[in-house]
Amino acid sequence: MSRRLKTLLIVVLAILMVTSGALFVFSATRPSAAYDPSKVNLDVKLLTRNEILTCAYKVYGDNNQNMWVAKTIIKNVGKMPARNFKISYKVGDLTDWNSGETYTEIRPGQTVRDYCWPPLDPTKVEAITTKTPVELTVRYEYDGLKEAQEESAKLFLLGKNDFVFTSLKEADCLTFADTFDNYRFIAAFITPNEETTKAFANAAAGGLETRASDDDAIAAFESAFEALRSHGVKYIMEPSGFWTGGFSQYVQYPKETIERNSGTCLDLAITLSAMMEAVGVKSYVALIPGHAIPMIETPQSGDTYAIEATFLDKDYALAKHGDAVSPDVTASECISLAKKEIEKAQDDGTIVFINPEYWWKAGVMPSW
């Protein structure tokens, strides 16, 4: 056999081998031929948050946030791809079925993660007043699966006034900031556009140029303090029965504090913050060990001023701290006292500042 003929036979044989290999791959992956969905083997795990803070329920429906309600981990542990994998979620009767991603193909060895950001029904959420269990269900299907598969897990919806300062386990709270891991959700309680709050704030700060003058901004702060005092608002302690490990609290909205004529230090700080925002003054809420203090930032200099809000209850101030104030317990005195409290906490590294305007822009908006 000539060398030319041998070379030709080798080339033909090589072509045949490549062609047969391509045909084998095509036939093995073609759905109508070797694809067998009964041989798809997926490991599906559903993870959920234990508790949902309904005060900020909108955050859990925003896929730009990292506050997913559920996460599903899907791993293909078999040798056959899963095609057109579709997944959806339902949270009790608070949502309809809402879809996650559709995955064209999940290949053998591949893992995908799908997230649930449910659009919760606002009317039904607002009606939740105590910790309530609800079942979250995930449903998924893919080409060739005879019927959709479902898995469920129980989670708890807290009442709209219930606030958990941290979602971390107590053993994982290593710093002061860790104990206020959920601090940003306080912004959801600060409601400057709510009618009762806005009307009360406007009556207190009427005639003042709060957006242009430092003096007027400070005057509005003191006036709001005095307005709450004149309205008869009293300082109260948190009911001991509500606490669970020191990380939970019943928190009032400003309207509730005004209508009930009472509130905890946090309630009072939230109310003053909302009143200041309602009249155009930038505000903050400072959290220090066992206490909350409202603050403002003046429009010209950018200086900050805090006030001891619990002392709007003059009887409490005189009975418990009479040596620190005059009989009149003036607003200016309460500003001086709060400044010392803030400075000490800053020196100790035990303070967290809540900037509501920042968190509103980030999506933590008041829900009601």
The whole model's pTM is what? Answer: 0.85
Residue 212: how many other CB atoms lie within 10 Å:
11
Quick one: pLDDT at residue 13? 62
Per-residue pLDDT averaged across 121-138, rounded?
95
Quick one: pLDDT at residue 32? 45
Answer for the pair 285, 357: CB distance below 8 angstroms, yes or no.
Answer: no
Q: Which residues contact 289 (CB under 8 A, 6 or more apart)?
A: 176, 345, 350
CA quadruple 190, 196, 199, 203: dihedral sign: negative
Closest Cα partner for 330 from 222, 199, 255, 256?
222
Tell me: the pLDDT tens digits for 20-47?
A: 555 544 444 454 447 788 889 999 999 9
Q: What is the mean pLDDT of the chain?
A: 90
Q: Does domain 37-157 have CATH number 2.60.40.10?
A: yes
Same fold: 37-157 with 166-361: no
Tell me: the pLDDT tens digits for 204-215?
A: 999 999 999 999
Domain boundaries, the chain: 37-157, 166-361
Q: How far apart are CA 335 and CA 318, in angstroms?
A: 16
The confidence band for 175, taking pLDDT boundaries of 50, 70 and 90, is confident
Residue the block writes with tokens 């309530």: 132
Q: How far apart are CA 300 and CA 217, in angstroms?
A: 10
Tell me: the pLDDT tens digits for 67-110?
A: 999 999 999 999 999 999 999 999 999 999 988 889 999 999 99
Quick one: pLDDT at residue 18? 53
Answer yes or no: is pLDDT of 245 > 50: no
Answer yes or no: is pLDDT of 11 > 70: no
Question: What is the signed CA dihedral for 260, 261, 262, 266, rounded to 10 degrees?
Answer: 90
Beta bridge partners of 106: 82
| Helix extents (H) in the chain | 3-29, 57-60, 122-126, 195-205, 214-231, 254-260, 265-278, 314-321, 331-348, 356-361
Tell me: the pLDDT tens digits for 49-75?
A: 999 999 999 999 999 888 999 999 999
pLDDT above 70 as % of the chain: 89
Following DSSP, what letter does each residue of 131-186 receive, concatenated? -EEEEEEEEEE-TT-SS-EEEEEEEEEPPTTEEES--S-GGG--STGGGGTTGGGG
Q: Which residues contact 4 (CB under 8 A, 6 or more apart)?
A: none
Per-residue pLDDT averaged across 233-237, rounded?
96
Quick one: pLDDT at residue 5? 60
Q: Does domain 166-361 have CATH number 3.10.620?
A: yes
CA quadruple 207, 278, 356, 182: dihedral sign: positive
Answer yes or no: is pLDDT of 296 > 80: yes
Answer yes or no: is pLDDT of 241 > 60: no
Answer yes or no: is pLDDT of 122 > 70: yes
Quick one: pLDDT at residue 168? 80
